[in-house]
Amino acid sequence: MKAVLIIMDGLGDRPLDEFKGKTVLEAAATPNLDKIAASGISGLMDSIAPGVTPGSDTSHLAIFGLDPEEHYHGRGPLEVLGVGIPLKHGDICFRSNVGTVDDDMTIKDRRAGRIESTAEHCRLLDGTKIDGVEIILKPSAWYRAGLVLRGKGLSPNVGKNDPKETGVKVMKVKPLDDTPAAAKTAKVLNKLTELSYKKFRDMPLNKKRVAEGKLPGNILLFRGAGRFVPAPSLEERYGGMKAACVAGGGLYKGIARYVGMDVLDVKGATGRYDSDYGAKVKAVKEALKTHDLIFLHLKATDSAGEDMNPALKKEMVEKMDSAIAGLLGLKDCLLVATSDHTTPCSLGHHSYEPVALAMAGDGIRVDDVVKFGERTCAKGGLHRIRGLDLMNIIASHTGFKKLYGA
């Protein structure tokens, strides 16, 4: 038996006055998700634990069966894996942007006017050595890039140079402990900040941008330091299960690579509101021919929650639901629909409440829940489980996880 795991990011919400006390999911028309609930078993899931607000990274690690207490080493390595940079154990990784600074290093724009590519910037720094440390810098979508420091005696316990606001100066990276490794890493990073300004400032690309009235991309900003420590793959942990990922956002592709999934390249999968869900669902169906588990990640519900836009979030739920129609009725396939965390439109950021979960397929103990929503699923036969339980359930139901004991 195969399985499709659909994660609708940040789908969970709180009761909203504009929906007469319903959540976005409860208010949305979701005939296809309702079919999964009605023909399957439902429940609630805390991706980490009750009362814990999960990050996007920790929640997905837990959902893929890796306890973040053991396997979470910061966001950097997961973002960098998402860019597609092959990593070595011990690499120090960062999320990075190309931004715009004034002559005195005051930040004018953290994204250099949403510059379309960082490919030329990366070419100027990728492969450079600073104090014997190799700098790896590869372009990601738009103004983003993946940054890796590779060398001996480095530490992830360092700050960032990105203050995450404009009108203030680029930060000096500080070591966060007293070790020589943290001091060395901070020193290399501060030299990298200076070098990026020196190399980017006079790029022909930037002269052209300025002439066109655009902001130049003249500084490398980075944050989210983390050490890459490999983790056991899904295949190792679940009896040879081969998994593939269909996602738009870099982080989710990175997490998928971290847990050993094949990341499929799907045209039109942008991770934004305009993402082509039809193309993604088509890719899922294709991937089922070669893989046992397909992870389908849909991001827009989280973005709309962060944008505090209930109408848009509802629209995105309905767009997701329509696309999911294409996955109903697959033979010998367990269909699992859930989310990674709650992102209430009333807050605009992640919160702690559990999310709706439903799964349907041959052999499932069908319960009497007929609507996919936070409070309908709460009455389902799965009760309230944790993220770390989910892959065990999926892998056991599909026959990949074996007996514990004898």
Distance CA 193, CA 220 (A): 6
Q: How far is the CB of 191 from its own copies (least distance, A)?
A: 26
| Interaction of residue 49 with its own copies, rule CB under 8 A | yes
Q: From the CB of residue 375, how many other CB atoms can be counted at a distance below 10 Å?
A: 14
The burial class, CB within 10 Å (0-12 / 13-18 / 19+), for 324 is buried
Rounded least distance, CB 398 to its own copies, Å = 11
Place of tokens 């973040």: 68
CA 343 to chain centre: 14
Beta carbon nearer to its own copies, 50 or 127: 50
The residue (of 130 and 293) whose beta carbon lies closer to its own copies is 293
Gap between the Cα atoms of 188 and 140, Å rounded:
22
Shortest Å, Cβ 154 to its own copies: 20
* Encoded amino acid at 14, one letter: R
Contact range with its own copies by CB under 8 A, out of 43-51, 112-120, 134-142, 258-266:
43-51
Binding to its own copies by residue 23, rule CB under 8 A?
yes
Q: What would the x/- binding string for its own copies be over residues 213 to 252, using CB under 8 A?
A: -----------x----------------------------
Considering beta carbons, is residue 133 or 345 the nearer one to its own copies? 345
Looking at the Cβ atoms of 40 and 139, the one nearer to its own copies is 40
- Residue-wise DSSP of 347-398: TSS-B---EEEEEE-TT----S--S-SHHHHTTSTTEEEEHHHHHHHHHHHT
> Whose CA is closest to 313, among 344, 288, 341, 281?
344
Q: Which of residues 69-108 bind its own copies (CB under 8 A)?
A: 72, 74-75
Residue ranges binding its own copies (CB under 8 A): 14-15, 21, 23, 44, 48-59, 68, 72, 74-75, 224, 344, 346-347, 349-353, 363-368, 374-375, 378-379, 381, 383-386, 389-397, 401-406
